[in-house]
Amino acid sequence: MASITNEGQSPTSQAELLYQAQLRKERVFRTHVGISWGVLFLILIFLFSGQDIKIGDFTIVQTINIDTEFMLKNITFIAGGLGQTLLISVLSILFAIMMALLAALGRLSKFPPIYALSTFYVSLIRGTPLYLQIFFFFLALPQLGIVLSGIVSGVLALGLNYGAYMSETFRAGLSSVGKGQREAAMALGMTPGQTMRRIVLPQALRFAIPPMGNDFISMTKDSALVSATGFVHELMWRATKVGRSQFNSLEALIMAAVFYWTLTLILTYFQGKLEARLSKGDR
């Protein structure tokens, strides 16, 4: 009896110790990475601090001098583009999700024309630059008498573009749902539509949500391309406008970069939370 309890206990506590050692190692590593980030960040700020470091009269390092007065004066104007950037991103991602779902279902279709339509769409979109697609909607369509506003062109192009890429994620999600799931639903008497809605799609979406989060984050940055139409006053458009007119592009672009980066960090944080919650759920 005694030996059994001993055997039962010692490997558990040993495993526990190993696990804790592992955790400690990871924690130390993360702390060091955090400190290094801080240092890199300080260096970056220092680079733009406009200082001269001299020994006697001899300048050894001269850091970049930026016009902080310009920045303070224009920060609200540039920040005013955040709303548009987010609006374009949200509308485009919703459109992209719809397109991706249709394309993914088409890709799984056994009916050749539908399968072809889906692969044709994905191939055409992936084979041409996003920049071209935005201009196609904005500049080429008017020649055919279809005039779209900058924002509509942007959302159409971004949505179609991301939809094509995301369809691959959705397809993987749909095929991750085993055949047994469909059979169980069919055996209960569900119609193919009910099986798709109640059983397959919820599982496929759960699988596809983390990569969709990544796509949304890239979307917020690719939305900057829409500024090229000149009619959507989002972050990038505002930064280039004030930067060019006052010959302060350096400062203007730095501000825009800080906004994009901060936005990305915030979204990545929520994305991480979401992912952690989903993985706790059922895998």
Partner 1 sequence: MPSSPIVKISNLDKYFGRLHVLKNVSLEVPERQVVCLIGRSGSGKSTLLRCINFLEEPSRGSIEVDGVHVDAEGKGKQQRQLIHDVRLKTGMVFQEFNLFPHMSVLDNVIEGPVTVKGMDRRQAIELAEQNLDSVGMFFKKDEYPMRLSGGQKQRVAIARALTMEPRVMLFDEPTSALDPELIGEVLNVMKKVALEGMTMIVVTHEMGFAREVADRVVVMADGELIEDATPENLFKDPKDARTKALIDRYRSGEG
Specify which residues 55 forms β-bridges with. Answer: 58
User: C-beta of 64: minimal distance to partner 1 in Å?
Assistant: 53
Q: Does 184 bind partner 1 (CB under 8 A)?
A: yes
- Tokens representing 188 are 């209960």
Q: Does 206 bind partner 1 (CB under 8 A)?
A: yes
- Which residues, 150 to 179, sit near partner 1 by CB under 8 A? 178
- Candidates 109, 203, 246, 249; binder of partner 1 (CB under 8 A) is 203
User: C-beta of 141: minimal distance to partner 1 in Å?
Assistant: 42
Q: Does 282 bind partner 1 (CB under 8 A)?
A: yes
User: C-beta of 273: minimal distance to partner 1 in Å?
Assistant: 20
Q: Does 98 bind partner 1 (CB under 8 A)?
A: no
CB of 73 or CB of 182, closer to partner 1? 182
Q: Does 276 bind partner 1 (CB under 8 A)?
A: no
d(CA 238, CA 27): 42
Residue 31 C-beta-side C-alpha neighbours within 13 Å: 6
- Candidates 39, 183, 245, 261; binder of partner 1 (CB under 8 A) is 183
Only segment of 74-82, 127-135, 189-197, 256-264 that touches partner 1 (CB under 8 A):
189-197
Specify which residues 61 forms β-bridges with. Answer: 53
Q: Does 198 bind partner 1 (CB under 8 A)?
A: yes
Q: Does 199 bind partner 1 (CB under 8 A)?
A: yes
- Candidates 190, 253, 254, 274; binder of partner 1 (CB under 8 A) is 190
Interface residues toward partner 1, by CB under 8 A: 178, 180-181, 183-191, 194, 198-199, 202-203, 206, 281-283
